[in-house]
Amino acid sequence: MSGHETQTGSGQLTTTRGHHMDVDDLFDVATVCDISDSCDQLGVPCVRTGKIRPVYAGCAPFAGTITTVSLRPGRGTRLTSLIRIFEDTEDDAVLVDLGERTDVQCWGTLLATAALRFGVRAALVNGATRDADQLAALGFPTFARGTHPASMRGRLSLTGMGGDVVVEGRPVISGCAVAADPNGVVFLPREHADKVFDLARQIAAAEQRLLDRIRSVSRPTTEALDTILP
C-alpha cells in the first residue's frame, strides 16, 4: 500500500486528504443497486450508468473516490504523462474519459501495473480498455464500456485532469465518490458517501429478510405473497 493511503484499525479507508469511507464490508452486504436506491431515498444527487461494467469475469467490486482524466484522439501522449497523474492523485481510483468512444482504448496492463505501484486501486473508463485477461490476472478492478485491441500510442492525447466528465449526459466531478460492480456504476458527492453506504446496507438487509419470507411460504399464492410484498 502506498503513501497515498493507509488502512486504519477500524477497517476504514483513509487517504491523505482525510477522507474516511467505511467501505470494507460494503459489497459483502450491498450492491450498486442498493446504493442507487439509497441515493433515491435520501435525495442525494447521483450519476448512474449500467453501461460501464466489469471488463473481466470475477472483477472485484469497488468503492472509493476518483480523479478524472480526459483523453481525446490526437498525436499521442507518453505513458509517463498518465503515470504522473497516479503519483499526484490522492484519490483511490481514476475515471478515464474517452467521451464514451469504444473505437479506441486507453487502459491496459502497463497502466494498471503502474497505477498499483502508486496506490491507485481501480480504473473506470468512459470508453474502452484492452488486455482483459491480463487485467484479470493482475486482479486490478477495471470497469469500462467495452474493449478494443489497438494500442493507444499515437492515437490519443491527454487533454485534461481534474475536470468534469460527462457520463450519460450528466457531469461527474473529480474527487467524488463512486461505487461499481456488475450492475454498473453510481457516482455521488463524497460528503454523502457514508450515509448513502450505511442506508444501502440497511436496504440490502431488508430485502434479504423479504426474500426469506417469500421462500418460507409453504404454498405460494398471489394472496399469500400480497401480505408480504410491499
In a domain, 129, yes or no: yes
Cα separations in angstroms, 56 against 34, 105, 131, 134, 143: 22, 15, 10, 10, 9
Cα–Cα–Cα angle for 108, 25, 128, rounded to 5 degrees:
20
With a cut of 70, say whether residue 18 has pLDDT above it: no
In a domain, 17, yes or no: no
Domain that holds residue 51: 27-209
So what's the pLDDT on residue 50?
98
In a domain, 34, yes or no: yes
In a domain, 56, yes or no: yes
142, 59 in Cβ contact below 8 A?
Answer: yes
CA pair distance 34, 92, nearest whole angstrom: 22
Q: How many domains does the chain have?
A: 1
Q: For residue range 49-60, list pLDDT tens digits in order.
A: 999 999 999 999
In a domain, 172, yes or no: yes
User: Quick one: 111 exposed, middle or buried, by C-beta within 10 A (0-12, 13-18, 19+)?
Assistant: buried
Q: Write the CATH number for 32.
A: 3.50.30.40
In a domain, 219, yes or no: no
So what's the pLDDT on residue 218?
76
In a domain, 41, yes or no: yes
In a domain, 43, yes or no: yes
User: Quick one: 35 exposed, middle or buried, by C-beta within 10 A (0-12, 13-18, 19+)?
Assistant: buried
Q: In the predicted model, what is the mean pLDDT of the chain?
A: 89
